[in-house]
Chains A and B, each alone.
Chain A
Amino acid sequence: MEKVIQGKAYVLGKNIDTDQIIPAEHLVYSLSNPEEVKLYGKYALSGVPPEQGGLPAGNIPFVQEGSFASEYTIIIAGPNFGCGSSREHAPFALKVAGIKAIIAESYARIFYRNSVDGGFVIPYETSEQLNQLINTGDDLKIDVEANTIENLTRKVTYTLNPLGDVFKIVEAGGIFAYARQENLMAQS
């Protein structure tokens, strides 16, 4: 896994549900055919009402018209990120769009599991309301070993909550890699 994740912030509000992350009409595309996979990048976060995308200003598109990837690398959001449907297409779409980590106040359980077990994005939590302190477009740098995030634009560093038990799965790159490493894959 990467020890440092650096890139631009895309800031969102609270309760970003999986229908906003990838609207249900797009769930029909293949997750393995490369041509169709690109569409998940194109439509990632396309369900967020425009004024609520790219805070605090709003009306900042996550993916530019005609593009299949986002210029942003890290999502900053409020509580209950990824609530709603169980679709693993949601963290997958964010990964395809170029997101490497999300920093939210909290996550819905299924989205959290999917992000970790599928090895798509790292779901960090903070107790601070970072979506009030960071602007869309700020340059951020996450130090994975030190558990910190530095806002390079504003020269402030924040501490992230430790990943705890799931760190090993994140480090391995997903539940299958982890299970092989720990010899848990034998059939019962």
Chain B
Amino acid sequence: MAQTITQKILSKAANRKFVDAGESVWLNVDILLTHDVCGPPTFDIFKEEFGSDAKVWDPKKIVVLPDHYIFTANEHAHRNIDLLRQFAKEQGLEHYYDVGSDRYKGVCHVALAEEGFNLPGTVLFGTDSHTCTSGAFGMFGTGIGNTDAAFILGTGKLWEKVPESMKFTFNGLMPEYLTAKDLILQILGDITTDGATYRAMEFDGEAIFSLPMEERMTLTNMAIEAGGMNGIIAADNVTERYVRARSSKPYELFRSDPDAKYHSTYSYDVSKLEPVVAQPHSPDNRATVRSVQGTKITKSYIGSCTGGKLTDFVMAARILKGQKVSVTTNIVPATVKVALDLEHELYDGQTLKQIFEDAGCSIALPSCAACLGGPADTVGRSVDNDVVVSTTNRNFPGRMGSKHAGVYLASPLTAAASAITGKLTDPRDFL
């Protein structure tokens, strides 16, 4: 029986030859990811259900990456880090990346990739909705809550309903003004925020396979914004090169069968697409940047698992080199690695860091920061009636802090161009 890549991975994890869309199966989990917001309550449920002396199913398969509320004076947030530290010690979790130590990484989805935890053909569950990011590596990754995560901690298994797949094919050569963020915002405008609920979103086509891993991650990252269970891109030699540089663990490559069944298929010619934004207050409220050009903004924010990777900052630097920003512009590297790269990576003879500093941007320490608002003292948090252009992933009311703020989701190119003019600006004006 023909299967999609998602079905094949889930078949393997269920010890079956074939799983059908719609059936519920028990899966063996390869990695469980958690962080400072959902880790402590997950550990509480684990102890309550399995006993206070219980041991996790496999300490090597649990990755704990604190990233949400790191650089804050909030005492409750500090307590959550203490709880992670304590549990990691009790359980001997070698993949715990402690805050305040040189092991600290930053935003979990980006760090998972950097540290070689993303392996084609594997199954990842995480207590964060953007766990779907890892699907860029030809693997299954999806978000769950604390109770489900506690169940995995004790058993290494979880039930899941095998999703139907939707296929999105991007043909043509990517124009220099277009980014993965524009592609996913395009899709969101077409299928809306519940257009892929309980389904897999599979990305295909020459434009997709021309993208570096980090750009592919931007696409799969926002599958959840359409309600998708997972986003997935089959692994190719770009993927294998990235993985092999970071891990020596075995992996398995899967591809969809040519006659696999899809819920629906969409096809795009990238040469005909334009830079777009998602207007307040929904990720599917798409408009071309040209059609809203001139809308005044008060802040530009470049960061998060979606838009705070090195490639995102290279794109921003292309626009910001030799320019000055006219509104507060926050540069928030996703991870410590990305922050270090800003100091070494050159664009046109200058480091990215120098380009951003000369342009008047402020560079923050790596964490999730204001993508999700966070405690009151979070860098870049929106206030009052802020109008923010942001490379992050959600713009529902209050997401970045203030309930009265409006957030335009955009590519790093658009966020950088708009930072210069103080108005929504098509990046082609600066390229």
Chain A contacts to B: CB under 8 angstroms:
15, 17, 19-20, 23-25, 27-32, 47-49, 79-80, 83-89, 106-110, 113-114, 117-118, 165, 174-176, 179, 184-185, 187-188
Contact = CB atoms under 8 A, between A and B. Distances in A.
A27 B49 CA distance: 22
B129 A86 contact: yes
Interface in B40-83: 40-41, 44, 49, 57, 68-69, 74, 76-77, 79-80
A59 to B, nearest CB: 14
Interface stretch (B89-97, B150-158, B271-279, B347-355): B150-158
Interface residues of B, number: 51
A84 B151 contact: no
A88 B373 contact: no
B37 A109 contact: no
A28 B375 contact: yes
Interface of B: 24, 26, 28, 37-38, 40-41, 44, 49, 57, 68-69, 74, 76-77, 79-80, 126-129, 131, 143-148, 151, 154-157, 193-194, 197-198, 227, 229, 282, 372-376, 394, 396-399, 403
A113 B144 CA distance: 8
Nearest to A23: B398
Contact of A19 (B28, B68, B151, B396): B396
B193 A83 contact: yes
Contacts of A179: 151
A80 B144 contact: no
B8 to A, nearest CB: 21
Contacts of B394: 17, 19, 84-85
User: Which secondary structure dominates where chain A touches chain B?
Assistant: loop
Interface-central residue, B68, B198, B397, by most chain A CB under 10 Å? B397
A47 B394 CA distance: 14
A166 to B, nearest CB: 9
Given A28-B76, A176-B49, A187-B155, A19 B399 contact: yes
Contacts of B28: 188
Contacts of B77: 28
Q: Which of A31, A83, A86, A188 has the most CB of B within 10 A?
A: A86
A110 B144 contact: yes
Contacts of A30: 40-41, 76
Nearest to A114: B145
Contacts of A106: 194, 197
B147 A174 contact: yes
A89 B144 CA distance: 12
B231 to A, nearest CB: 13
18 contacts: A15-B193, A19-B394, A23-B398, A24-B373, A27-B37, A28-B375, A30-B76, A31-B44, A48-B397, A49-B398, A83-B194, A83-B227, A84-B399, A86-B143, A87-B37, A88-B41, A109-B229, A175-B151
A87 B126 CA distance: 11
Contact of B147 (A49, A80, A109, A117): A117
B372 A175 contact: no
B197 to A, nearest CB: 6
A106 to B, nearest CB: 6
A17 B128 CA distance: 14
Contacts of A108: 194, 197, 227
A88 B398 contact: no
A78 to B, nearest CB: 10
B41 A15 contact: no
Given A15-B193, A188-B157, A86 B145 contact: yes
A127 to B, nearest CB: 15
B86 to A, nearest CB: 14
A117 B155 CA distance: 15
B44 A109 contact: no
A187 B143 contact: no
B197 A19 contact: no
Contacts of B374: 24-25
Contacts of B372: 19, 24, 85
Contacts of B375: 25, 28
B129 A88 contact: no
